[in-house]
Amino acid sequence: MAIADRFRLNLATLSEHLIAELPWLDDVAKKMHASWDPLLGPDGPAGVKDALYGTWLGHPLHPAVVELPIGFWTATALLDAAGMQRGADIVLKAGTVSALGVAVTGYAQWHDVQNLEAPRRLGALHAMLNITATALYGTSWLLRNKGERGTAMALSTTGLGIVMFSGLLGGDLAYKLGIGVSRVAFFRDPTTEWTAVIAVDALEEGKLKRVEQGDDPLVLLKEGDAVYAASATCTHLGGPMDEGERTGSCVTCPWHGSEFDLKDGRVVHGPAASPLHAYETRVTEGQVEVRYKEPA
């Protein structure tokens, strides 16, 4: 096998090897989870959690802000190499401060995956590496203030290498393990044709009902003359919405507490950031028919 091919293969399987060979990360993950549970657990403040998840953005917040420290710290290395000390120090400090916010949003996105071995371990390692890198940059900040540039630059350069490696693992969390990806993103294109899914008499007032439209599960809710329909798969980690708790037209996922409004699929509270697929409904000859509702 060519060296380049072997290198690509090693990178492709790196996270799998780390997950298998580092079971002690489970204990680290358990402690991390416990320390953040008062803020991000079921009893944490909903407004704070929604802000950190990115519910207000309609997109996970962590990947939207993670470029800040990486960009600042990369600029630090370039400015150090060019001998532009003042500029290097300014962007190093900006990167270190921004890394704190990025860490909190990352913890929020990772908090609810503790029952999944691969993302649990890989996320814990990702966090440990980022904490180490941030500590190195913080120490470099202090040394730069004292004029000890040689050691400071060595620490920040080491920190950049750790950040790049950690970013590789973060990419695996998102693109290989699907953390932060909407669980309905890869459903087949919802049909825009009216399709009968159940007899209206089979629906009980105020009770959630799971039905199938082709290969896609839907959850239906009858309230008076109205019938609401949306995808039955929570966009966060795939929880069954038909088993959730209903409040009016809103349903809370039984797994991690994401709340959606079945009228339009919108996220009311996270950790989900992406809406459910919503459907129009009508009753024709005693049958409930649905068709996909294009987002407003």
pLDDT, tens only, 284-294? 999 999 998 87
In angstroms, the Cα distances linking 64 to 10, 97, 126 are: 28, 16, 17
Same domain, yes or no: 9 and 112: yes
Q: Which domain holds residue 129?
A: 3-175
Q: Is residue 259 part of a domain?
A: yes
Same domain, 122 and 252: no
Instruction: Identify whether 180 is part of a domain.
Output: no
184 lies in some domain? no
For CA atoms 61, 62, 63, 65, the dihedral sign is positive
Same domain for 258 and 154: no
Structure tokens at 69: 């420290």
Task: Note whether residue 183 is domain-resident.
Answer: no
* pLDDT band (50, 70, 90) for residue 163: very high
User: How far, in Å, CA of 204 to CA of 294, rounded?
Assistant: 27
Q: Which of 295, 278, 266 is nearest to 56 (CA)?
A: 266
Looking at the fold, whether 229 and 274 belong to one and the same domain comes out as: yes
How would residue 6 be classed by pLDDT, with cut points 50, 70 and 90?
A: very low
pLDDT digits (tens, 9 = 90+) for 175-226: 888 888 888 877 766 677 899 999 999 999 999 999 988 778 999 999 998 9
Structure tokens that stand for 45 in this block: 């403040």
CB–CB of 111/29 below 8 Å? Answer: no
> Once rounded to an integer, what is the mean pLDDT over residues 229-252?
94
- In this structure, the answer to whether residues 119 and 253 fall within a common structural domain is no
Which pLDDT band holds residue 85 (cuts at 50, 70, 90)?
Answer: very high
- Does the residue 182 lie in any domain? no
Three-class DSSP category at 279: strand
Residues 7, 143 within the same domain: yes
pLDDT score recorded for residue 34: 94
Based on the domain organization, do 163 and 203 belong to the same domain?
A: no
What tokens does 2 get? 């060519």
Rounded-to-integer distance, Cα 246 and Cα 252, Å: 6
243 Rama sector, left if φ>0, alpha if ψ -120 to 50, beta otherwise: alpha
Establish if 189 belongs to a structural domain: no
Percent helix, strand, coil in the chain, to 5, is 50, 20, 30
Select the more confidently predicted residue: 8 or 163. Answer: 163
Q: Are 279 and 226 in contact (CB under 8 A)?
A: no
State how far the Cα of 222 lies from the Cα of 211, in Å rounded to an integer.
Answer: 13
Domain count, the chain: 2
Q: Do 116 and 260 share a domain, yes or no? A: no
Measured CA to CA, the distance from residue 14 to residue 6 in angstroms comes to: 12
In the prediction, which pLDDT does 4 show?
Answer: 47
Query: 142 with 205, same domain?
Result: no
Q: How many CB atoms lie within 10 A of CB 124?
A: 23
Is 127 contained in some domain? Answer: yes
What pLDDT is recorded for position 215?
75
- Domain check: are 140 and 170 in the same one? yes
Q: Are residues 134 and 272 in the same domain?
A: no
CATH of the domain at 250: 2.102.10.10
Buried b (16+ CB within 10 A) or exposed e, 56-94: eeeebbbbebbebbbebbbbbbebbeeeeeeebbebbbb
Residue 167 forms part of a structural domain = yes
Examine the domain organization and report whether 120 and 8 are in the same domain: yes
- Count CB atoms within 10 A of the CB of residue 53: 28
Longest CA pairwise span in the chain (Å): 82
